[in-house]
Amino acid sequence: MTATDSGGRKRIADLRRAQILDAANACFSREGFHGASMASIAAEAELSVGQIYRYFESKEAMTEALCEDFLEEWTETAASIHGQANDVVEELLAIARYNAEKLKQREGVSILLEFFAEAARNPRIGRLVERIDETIRAQVSEVLSRSEAGALAPEARVTLAMVLLFDALPLRVLKDPGVDVDQYLLSLRPMLESLTKA
């Protein structure tokens, strides 16, 4: 086998993997983690169940892969935001905008809540969700460390920022699908400014 053949096969395998994960994401969002079957994921991907098993041994493995893909995307996005933002508040708002864009489609909220629910039941998924939170929290902590401390203790500041940037919006969108996400982002500015000034 030539290097060209090997590279072509890897590209095909990567495309197939992405196809399956897109299908799993859609099924988990629509049917829930436990409601979605390998057969429904295969149908969504327009593949056979056997083809799915060649890439993933279980739904749990797909969930882990989706989490890993999110972590990779987040790392790239955080680096990009850091390189473009003018100041701390702008960087935090850019982080919030990134999260909000993910949630503008109801599917984004559904899959996020599915991950949280599964994390409460499944220790392996729980550890992955914790790892994602730790990665994002470290980024937010680093951004806040470049601002004035204010009255709150550093850890409390980071926790409040995480609630404002990530935790509150998914539940708001779930409870009120018509919520104006752009207005939510506008309302964040004064709150974030209060977190970054003494």
DSSP letter string, 87-121: SHHHHHHHHHHHHHHHHSSHHHHHHHHHHHHHHHH
Rounded to 5 degrees, φ, ψ at 102 are -65, -30
Q: What is the pTM of this model?
A: 0.79
pLDDT tens-digit profile of 138-183?
Answer: 989 999 988 876 677 889 999 999 999 888 888 887 788 788 888 8
Could you read off the pLDDT of 16-66 as tens digits, one per residue? 999 999 999 999 989 988 899 999 999 999 999 999 999 999 999 999 899
Give the tokens for residue 150. 């204010």
- First-to-last alpha carbon distance for the chain, in angstroms, is 64
Answer for the pair 104, 183: CB distance below 8 angstroms, yes or no.
no
- Under 8 Å between Cβ of 85 and 91: yes
- pLDDT above 70 coverage of the chain, percent: 93
- List the Cα angle 154/155/158 in 5-degree steps: 90
Tell me the pLDDT of the chain averaged across its residues: 86
> Would you say residue 8 has pLDDT above 90?
no
The amino acid sitting at 82 is H
Instruction: Decide if 147 contacts 197 (C-beta within 8 A).
Output: yes
**pLDDT at residue 186 is higher than 70:** yes
